[in-house]
Amino acid sequence: MNNSQNENSICGCNIIHEDIVNKVSQLLPADDLLYKLSDFFKIIGDKTRIKILHALFESEMCVCDIAYLLNMNQSAISHQLRVLKTAGLVKFRKEGKVVYYSLDDDHVKNILDQGLIHLSHK
């Protein structure tokens, strides 16, 4: 237990447990890494994108197929596919006019499945 007299200007209160804060502070991963991590979860934390990913678990699909499947217009799907592509979660191949998207990462299915397990245990 370690209190200082004046409240801290940063957080607006005193440090109650300086020893714990110091210990945890050292063990915490770098900000940079944690930001990347939260960005990754942000990508899969969207209902449209998570549906696209689940669809691609089953089969590669073209933009038009996905749009029809999800009952959304082509533009919205195309925008979201770009997000997934930029994040390295999907890749594509072109065949004439048609662009086929598929998964580009083995871990993603694993992580989504873990999420489902989490939900089922709550």
Partner DNA sequence: TGAACATATGAACAAGTATTCATATAAGGA
Partner DNA sequence: TCCTTATATGAATACTTGTTCATATGTTCA
- Residue located via tokens 């979860």: 41
Residue 59 C-beta: closest distance to DNA, Å: 14
Out of 81, 84, 89, 90, name the contact with DNA by CB under 7 A: 81
The burial of 6, by beta-carbon neighbours within 10 Å (0-12 exposed, 13-18 middle, 19 or more buried), is given as: exposed
Site string for its own copies, 81-100 (x = CB under 8 A): -------x---------x--
The CA–CA distances, whole Å, from 72 to 16, 29, 30, 57 equal 51, 39, 39, 19
Out of 5, 6, 59, 94, name the contact with its own copies by CB under 8 A: 59
Answer with the entry of its own copies, DNA, none that 24 interacts with (C-beta below 5 to 8 A by kind). Answer: its own copies
Q: What is the DSSP letter of 36?
A: H
Backbone phi, psi, residue 59, to 5°: -170, 150
64 contacts its own copies (rule: CB under 8 A): yes
- Give contact residues for DNA (rule: CB under 7 A): 3, 5, 7, 12-14, 16, 42, 46-48, 62-64, 72-76, 78-83, 92, 94, 96-100
